[in-house]
Structure 1
């Protein structure tokens, strides 16, 4: 039986599954949207500025696409009824030509055809196109072709076949891709309505952290997490507020969280969510809002905090809070498995999920059932051309090199056990073409 999914609940001995944690986060985000209508601020932007933004209203096609019946091939247009009575091979006299962009062509009689180019309007009385490469031309100005090469209606694109005027071309909530921008342009649309970017504050907590550019002292480490998070958020197009490194004292954390809440819709912190004596995040969060501290049955990234901070004023919305682990790899894994989708959902995206692709493992992998593992993987082709995936090697939560070398996550699900070479595993590919 599933455990209850309450963002304000602490699970001291039980572990949430990855699915349960995602369900809990999605439910809280949905609730906050309903209460505060966080993503309803809309702006109209020129097409060239819309890539990666989230569409705020359906784009209705103002025209039929294509606007007229047209040829899908370079070839010869004719009346498909010719095929009912013509001899084999079919012989048609060329009565003229029409090119893309022209609006007039000669009418034809039975036994005639018109030379057409791809995209050219279909001439009157014509409903079929024979591709040029399947024909033979004669010096007398006619063509011949085998009767069974084409059927009536072939190679003709119908008016409105792709899009009909007044029908949705791109639906609200879509994260706009390059192809969407091109589609809008093909409809003559110069601007799109998109949701305004939400503001995300990031900070790292820990006395051991040192800023880049400062000589590294004994016992200190450079803070990489803010830079990883900044890059992840930049790629998704969010407005970022960098709140720097916060020391592990209640006063410093309290002040940092309160200041961030005044500026941002979401706060993402890294470090300070375990049960160590110096981890004061839990104490401060209980003062400032409703935040649950979870243990998630996953590797890496077991400890995580999630919830919301109280509004800083009666007119403002609650601030969503994510407390991520301190280990560099765990930060990136938990960001992509929990935070990314939540931010996009909060921003108005309707389908933020990363698609999974099943690929065969090139190697054996040891795996305990009862937790989800996110191993860093490398895709490659074997000598036979099969697409396979292998791990980057050591999978420690602090080995950031494993993320740098990887091009995908190998997702070993909750109930999966050991993986043998050739077994199929689910993969999340890091970079999409569009």
Structure 2
């Protein structure tokens, strides 16, 4: 006679930790991201994308003198009589030259960037003048200060022009050059070890599509993660694909932890029998495995192996892509000492309906349309990387929220997340 075990003798189901809100997870993650020590001095030519380690302070005014913003004639407004006012031309002032004090009832032929001569209080652009043998005739009445760029109106001597923690762009490195900086002090680059896990992964070029074995997939994550890291100025060591074995995973992690600031993996952070990242990191250091309350991108891991940080991303391509943008990007920026790590978002109307409210915060792939609204990609699966190519940003949709056509939604452009 057989008997079934009573319900009281059955092993209790493990209690799952509640899903962690994204904002809480990001705050905890950033708390670990202490700026890397040291700095580098680089040519201003090569500073694009780097983070300033010190304030950049001006030691001169820009412009250094009142100058003309137009080709035309420098005049004294008091000399204007009427639309036929005729002034003699007493001098010619090119950019880089200098002029004499302007006599009454005279004008100075002047060119863009040239210093305003003493006594002149306006510039009349050449289109509003008529050159005649006796001088120049003014067709319009000059107004005090017109077409004059004042000394120091762009940069005042002694002021901070670029602040420490600012991430440099082409405009800011041009501004640094305009006040004489040929080199800049910047934060060191983050050294990142990148590898993927999974016996199913195949590198493009190694196997032709027609020869792919059942279950095999090309390793796309390795390509877009490397590109995203490069855009952030990281020094990337590509560690390749690690086999689904605990010993191989431990060896790869141990090696990577020696000379890198961050180890970044994709895949293997779940709890399956072939997911070896968790036990490997726990054996070598410490690990916090988070289940995030976001879609896509629930499985996420943070840990430390000696002095190196570890971040494990989910294996599904869109999940890995989105969690990098939302969590890894600000983490890396903070390691570089950046003062601004959060992306800017804008409110735009949804030109779609989203009737499937989820208990998790969702990041929907969308793109702007000619009418000023947002269209939704038709397949929001975490495995459909096409959605990230078709789209130009994400809708940050709160948990439990449906969207009706015309609703205002929070849009985060990819230009903010991938710069």
Q: Same fold (TM over 0.5)?
A: yes
In 1, distance between residues paired with 2:116 and 2:128? 19
- Structure 1 counterpart of 2:110: 116
Which is further off, 231-240 or 136-145?
A: 136-145
- Structure 2 counterpart of 1:5: none
- Structure 1 counterpart of 2:196: 204
Whether 2:6 is the aligned partner of 1:21: answer no
> How far off its partner does 1:300 sit?
0.4
Alignment check: 8 A CA contact 1:95 1:106 kept: no
> How far off its partner does 1:345 sit?
0.8
User: CA distance change for structure 1 residues 91 and 370 in 2, over 3 Å: closer, same or farther?
Assistant: farther
- Structure 1 counterpart of 2:275: 279
- TM-score under structure 2 length normalisation: 0.87
> How far off its partner does 1:431 sit?
3.5
- Structure 2 counterpart of 1:48: 45
Gaps of 5+ in 2: 1-14
**The one of 403, 410, 414 aligned to 1:419:** 403
The structure with the larger Rg is 2
- Structure 1 counterpart of 2:16: 12
Q: Describe the SS at the equivalent of 2:225.
A: helix
- Deviations 1:239-285, CA, capped at 9 Å, x for gaps: 11112222333222222211111121101111122232332322233
User: CA distance change for structure 1 residues 369 and 222 in 2, over 3 Å: closer, same or farther?
Assistant: closer
Q: Describe the SS at the equivalent of 1:48.
A: helix
Which is further off, 276-285 or 50-59?
A: 276-285
- Deviations 1:353-408, CA, capped at 9 Å, x for gaps: 22223332222223526432212222231xxxx32321222011011122222222
User: CA distance change for structure 1 residues 106 and 17 in 2, over 3 Å: closer, same or farther?
Assistant: same
User: CA distance change for structure 1 residues 109 and 414 in 2, over 3 Å: closer, same or farther?
Assistant: farther
Alignment check: 8 A CA contact 1:216 1:222 kept: no
Matches within 5 A, 1:352-431: 352-368=341-357, 370-381=359-370, 386-414=371-399, 417-431=401-415
Q: Describe the SS at the equivalent of 1:233.
A: helix
- Structure 2 counterpart of 1:67: 64
Matches within 5 A, 1:11-410: 12-29=16-33, 33=34, 39-80=36-77, 82=78, 87-89=81-83, 91-136=85-130, 140-147=134-141, 150-212=142-204, 213-214=206-207, 215-309=211-305, 311=306, 318-368=307-357, 370-381=359-370, 386-410=371-395
In 2, distance between residues paired with 1:191 and 1:295? 44
- Give aligned pairs, total: 400
- TM-score under structure 1 length normalisation: 0.85
In 1, distance between residues paired with 2:328 and 2:393? 17
Q: Describe the SS at the equivalent of 1:65.
A: coil
Gaps of 5+ in 1: 1-10, 312-317
